[in-house]
């Protein structure tokens, strides 16, 4: 029998780049509602719970029928929020915990399953995913996090810079559609012990330099496997992302109407 998996959706109301992000309307509905409707029914997870510091978000969860835990408002990151939930008595049975970002309404169950398998089947302490970078613009964009991956799938480094560097000329658009030029996806699956170790660490020098908390885990030697997946959808971090997401979701709704007929 497979080990059970707990999924935690961190949903912090006090986002810096997009005000009140979990409640921000996407086609007239809160962003978190889109995420919950996608993740809540996934058969991959044995339990799914939202973690927030906000009474307003908790009220939305109650309306949606989504289990919710009010967590410490002073947490530094979503990982800290996930770890607090995992330590609660009712979730102590889970040794595998997934962090499913609350700003990813297009997250795919197949991608999450790949990250779970890295931990449950392949022995990594943490599992995550990446997808081909895709374009020169994405390579140049510091908001797009890149990852360098070793032959066995180990995460070697994460950066906002264009890694890996190609010494002989610049990478072409075609080269950027395949490894080793990879965009990191905000998916994390942890062994309980690795999650506890991660959040007990002080912020690391590289983490503070790049503003990427996963570098804290790498600097401390936590083993992190990276699965390469295809066709990953975007998340929502800025007002421009909202516009793009509404276009994608509208297209999906139109496609569904054509397929099923209404």
- DSSP designation for 69: E
The whole-number pLDDT of residue 252 equals 81
The whole-number pLDDT of residue 1 equals 60
The whole-number pLDDT of residue 231 equals 79
pTM (predicted TM-score): 0.91
Helices (H), 99-238: 109-120, 136-140, 192-200, 205-210, 214-219
Among 218, 97, 203, residue whose Cα is nearest residue 156: 218
CA separation for the pair 37, 5 (Å, rounded): 18
Query: Which residues of the chain are under the pLDDT cut of 50?
Result: 257-260, 262
Give me the helix-helix angle, 55-64 and 31-39, nearest 10°. 50
The whole-number pLDDT of residue 254 equals 59
The whole-number pLDDT of residue 2 equals 83
Q: Do you know the residue count of the chain?
A: 262
Q: What is the 3-state secondary structure (H, E, C) of 55-95?
A: HHHHHHHHHHCCCEEECCCCCCCHHHHHHHHHCCHHHCCCC
The whole-number pLDDT of residue 197 equals 97
The whole-number pLDDT of residue 260 equals 46
CA separation for the pair 172, 198 (Å, rounded): 37
189 and 119 in contact (C-beta within 8 Å)? yes
Residue 189: what are its φ and ψ, rounded to 5°?
Answer: -125, 130
Among 136, 185, 131, 186, residue whose Cα is nearest residue 162: 136
């Amino acid at each position: 029998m497979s080990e059970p998996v707990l999924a935690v959706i961190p949903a912090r109301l006090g986002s810096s780049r997009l005000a009140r992000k979990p409640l921000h309307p996407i086609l007239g509905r809160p962003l978190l509602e889109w995420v919950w409707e996608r993740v809540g029914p996934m058969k991959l997870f044995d339990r799914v719970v939202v973690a927030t510091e906000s009474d307003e978000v908790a009220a939305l969860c109650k309306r949606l029928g989504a289990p919710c835990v009010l967590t410490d408002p002073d947490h530094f990151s979503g990982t800290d929020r996930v770890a607090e939930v995992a330590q609660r008595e009712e979730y102590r049975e889970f040794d595998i915990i997934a962090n499913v970002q609350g700003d990813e309404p297009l997250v795919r169950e197949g991608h999450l399953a790949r990250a779970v398998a890295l931990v449950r089947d392949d022995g990594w302490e943490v599992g995550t995913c990446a997808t081909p970078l895709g374009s020169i613009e994405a390579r140049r964009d510091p908001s797009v996090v890149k990852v360098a991956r070793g032959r066995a799938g180990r995460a070697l480094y994460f950066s906002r810079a264009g890694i890996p560097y190609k010494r002989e000329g610049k990478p072409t658009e075609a080269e950027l559609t395949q490894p080793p030029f990879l965009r990191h996806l905000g998916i994390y699956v942890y062994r309980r012990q690795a999650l506890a170790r991660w959040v007990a660490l002080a912020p690391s020098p590289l983490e503070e330099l790049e503003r990427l908390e996963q570098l804290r885990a790498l600097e401390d030697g936590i083993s992190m496997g990276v699965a390469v997946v295809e066709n990953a959808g975007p998340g929502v971090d800025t007002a421009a992302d909202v516009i793009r997401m509404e276009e994608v979701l509208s297209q999906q709704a139109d496609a569904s109407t054509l397929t099923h007929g209404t």
